[in-house]
A and B are shown apart, each in its own frame.
Chain A
Amino acid sequence: MDSIAVLLKIDGERVAGALQEVREKLDGAQGEIVLDFSSVRRVDPHALRALEDLAGSADGKAVKVVLRGVNVDIYKVLKLAQLASRFSFLT
């Protein structure tokens, strides 16, 4: 995965797992990766941890992670968990 912008749809039923897979694919990537959250209704602590890990990996690799279609309730969760500042958002 070394393209400039990649769009990946996150499965609302297995958010943490999907994010974990994305993280594994980050190796050798650069540029922008857009994760489509439009089918994610809620996140749990595992998903948050996975997001945090993903942000950490992306920082190390100069990849910009963009979350698209995040609903406002999840956006609030990210704010409260102090993760919102680690991503870019697209509506």
Chain B
Amino acid sequence: MTDNASPLSEERIAYLEGLVRQARTAAAVFTQCTQEDVDRIVKPMVLAGLEQAQNLARLAIEETKLGVLEDKVIKNMVATEFVYNYVKDKRTVGTIREFPESGLVEVAEPIGVIFSLTPITNPTSTVLFKCIMAIKTRNAVIFSPHPSAWRCCSEAVRIMYETAVKHGAPEGVFTCLESHSLQDNDYLMHHKDVRLIDATGGPGAVKAAYSSGKPALGVGSGNTPVYLEKTADLNMAVVDIIISKTFDNGTICASEQTVVIDDEIYDSVLKKFADLGAHICNEKETELLARTVIDPNTGFMQPMAVGQKATTIARFVGLSVKPKTKLLIAPIQGVGRAYPLSVEKLFPVLAVYRAKSVDEALKVCLDVNHAGGLGHTAVIFSRNDEIIQKFSEVINAGRIIVNSPGSIGALGAVYNDLVPTFSFGCGTGGGNSTTDNVNIYHYLNIKRLARRRQAHMWFRVPNQIYFNMNAVENLRQFPSRSTIIITSPFLEQIGHVDIVRRNLPPQTPVHVMVIPDAEPEVKVVMHGVETLNFYKADQIIALGGGSVIDAAKIMKLKYESPQADLEELAAPFLDLRKRVVQYPTEKTNRAQLIAISTTSGTGSEVTPFAVLMDKERGRKVTLADYSLSPDVAIVDPQFVMSMPKGLTADTGIDCLTHALEAGVSSYASPYTDSNAMQAIRLVFKYLPIAYEHPHDEEARSMMHNAACIAALAFSNASVGVNHALAHAFGARFGVAHGRANALMLPHVIAYNAAVPTKFMPSPYQQAYVAHKKYATIADLLGLGGHTIEEKVQNLVAATEQLLDRLAIPRSIADLGISKEEFERAIPDLAKIAFDDPSWRSNPRMPLVNELVELFWSAYRGRGVTKVASTSQQQTSQLQTV
């Protein structure tokens, strides 16, 4: 070893640079090898390692003067044969794993140059293991063995290297520092071309590796607690502990350090240990032992004891033990500096503790775990699954070995199916990046090829929709023991309730619940739920416009699942199917909901939405879930003949807005498009007639169907930014929903048809098509135009003409709202509109300032028809209108 204090000489730097360049070149060349090439190299390496297992073990013993020859041979064989058995069929080049169901493919990318520190305790086995891993993963390694194990390690590297190169590995793939200094290590750890540090060794090496600022696999020391619980097979436990703790004279860092034994079995366990060749120290001997093998200044084990035989240690200490003593057992009464033997001891000295209860045993094991063993290994012998489970929850160890030897158990593949390794990741508890048994996958960058998935879509609607004049007669098929008709005062007054009553099966017990004529509020809903409970309703008939039907949906929800928390269910979400809150599926009561719409707009009779008025906060809350959809919808035009002109216009435009928004929605599908397009066609044709000739049955009927058909579309494709704006504005200024939509509509069409400032990410759409879809709609309506821009412009104009024909105010200013008042409201309006889930399916992602612009456009009103001829210009014009 060179002098650690002196700086690196120029020659030394040149030497180290040469090593890195050589490794870098080898790693680069290695990337050309295929899986077959690599596998052809690995096998002879493994065979060479097996053949040399004994020689290397002998060299290690001679050089390090620690451990047991026979055990080192076994370690070398595990490092080759067992590791090979694990890696041989694994793919490590190109595609290594495929997940067809998710469209993901994992592709291997080598790391490049790895700088590897190897320990004194498992010198040659660690080198063999790392060489095999490196070749399997096409990496180059520069080894820096522990200085006291340099000769045996460099010989192991040489054997692996020559075999590898002979079978096709690139020259320079392994090198070994020819002498060792901390400066060399430091230089290489910080070298820009060293991509990973794999440090197996003591805390110093691991710390240096992690401090280098490079990705590192630093795996360090442990302090394995063992809980020997009273239900365990004691004979097995005692033998396993002896096997493990004496294996290579206790040098494996996963070996047992303190055995916590239940009081009831303590004496018999110690006797069994003694019978099998352990020496049980008395108090005085324990003290002497502690003083000799543990450094009183640092509290850590004395290096001279590491890997020595029990008899050798006894000799150092001056204990008189039988000649074949395998293990020195030292009873301790606690854990920590006051009990020096409670730390890691990589030699055959085992501390034991007598625990009065499971609770005490677990706590002492935890103390040991926290006294230098966090994240490493723990062992339990027990037949009680609950205690094993508890132990695994309490103890922080990457490997929790059950009913088997700790050291060989942790190495994997002998007593269990852990991945065979010579590097135990200790997780963050041990200052490491992994708790895994380090393996080939830690020597790879795993790239994930993520193919675009064809997103699943859906089309969900109530399974019974009855439409056309007198469709209400279908009520006859629904017997009930208690039916509640929910309606509004006016509809009851004009005899609509009577029509419903007449069409129910004879003798159906009916109660009529008249709710205030306004958008539903929580207190109205809760009062309604009380009524449903009182009458033990099994059938709810909602007879009214969107407000009544929405109220009925929410009442049904709270009636069936009283635990439903409306506030929580209204929580924001991005994707209906991934949202955080789930609607309740447990039901205390059950009632069928039949919705009979009396307006031709909302389509609430088929939708999974319900809008609730939050008076306190002056906003509307949208509940959305398919469980809200009515069970039966009746679309009978006789109930809309009484609609006054204003209501016909407002609700008709709501319907048109639904269809237009669903049509360009980012959730649109061919299923929803067909409904949206048909609804738009019906509205443009029949809404003016229904408005001007309220008694025209055909027009009323077609508009009623249009509303329902549009709702089938937006129930699945959802709406867009128009509704977000209208909800915010309508709630703030008390403007009817349809009218609020109408004020925004032409501006929103122009906005959506322009090139978005921000595209809406959507797995459902391949490209931005809103402008083209508007153009298709214009074609469908026969509006003329040659280019997409012209067609969009014509659609905006046709929409404006329709609004004019329906005498709908064409600007917010026209409603008598002053500019100052509107200006004051704008920040809130924009915020509320941005929180509204409606725009999540808008084709264009609205920026908050764009929402503000849209509000102002609607305030000023007319002017959208002057849509510019290119999309880009449209955007700027919109912003300056």
Contacts and interface: CB of A to CB of B under 8 A. Distances in A.
Interface in A60-83: 73-74, 76-82
Interface string A27-59: 000000000000000111110110000000000
Interface string B18-54: 0000101111110110000000000000000000000
Interface in B138-195: 170-172
Contacts of B409: none
A74 B29 CA distance: 8
Contact of B24 (A44, A46, A74, A82): A82
Interface residues of B, number: 13
Contacts, number: 40
A80 B170 contact: no
B355 to A, nearest CB: 56
A45 to B, nearest CB: 5
A79 B29 CA distance: 11
Contacts of A44: 29, 170-171
B112 interface: yes
Given A44-B170, A45-B171, A73 B25 contact: no
A65 B29 CA distance: 21
B29 A45 contact: yes
A81 B170 contact: no
In terms of DSSP, what is the predominant structure of the interface of chain A? Answer: helix
Contacts of B170: 44-45
B31 A45 contact: no
A74 B25 contact: no
A76 B109 CA distance: 12
A42 to B, nearest CB: 5
Contacts of A43: 29, 32
A74 B26 CA distance: 13
B31 A76 contact: yes
Nearest to A79: B28
A45 B32 contact: no
Most chain B beta-carbon contacts within 10 A, residue among A44, A73, A80? A80
Most chain A beta-carbon contacts within 10 A, residue among B26, B28, B112, B170? B28
A80 B26 contact: no
B24 A80 contact: yes
B31 A80 contact: yes
Contacts of B32: 42-43, 73-74, 77
Contacts of B24: 80-82
A49 B29 CA distance: 11
Nearest to B173: A45
Contacts of B171: 44-46
B112 to A, nearest CB: 7
Nearest to A41: B32
Most chain A beta-carbon contacts within 10 A, residue among B27, B32, B112? B32
B31 A48 contact: no
A44 B26 CA distance: 8
A77 B31 contact: yes
A77 B27 CA distance: 9
23 contacts: A42-B32, A43-B32, A44-B29, A44-B171, A45-B22, A45-B25, A45-B26, A45-B171, A46-B171, A48-B25, A48-B29, A49-B25, A73-B32, A76-B28, A76-B31, A77-B29, A77-B32, A80-B24, A80-B27, A80-B31, A81-B24, A81-B25, A81-B28
A-B pairs, 6 with minimum CB distance: A80-B28, A81-B28, A77-B28, A45-B171, A42-B32, A45-B25
Given A49-B25, A74-B32, A77-B32, 16 more contacts: A43-B29, A43-B32, A44-B29, A44-B170, A44-B171, A48-B25, A48-B29, A73-B31, A73-B32, A76-B28, A77-B29, A80-B28, A80-B31, A81-B24, A81-B25, A82-B24
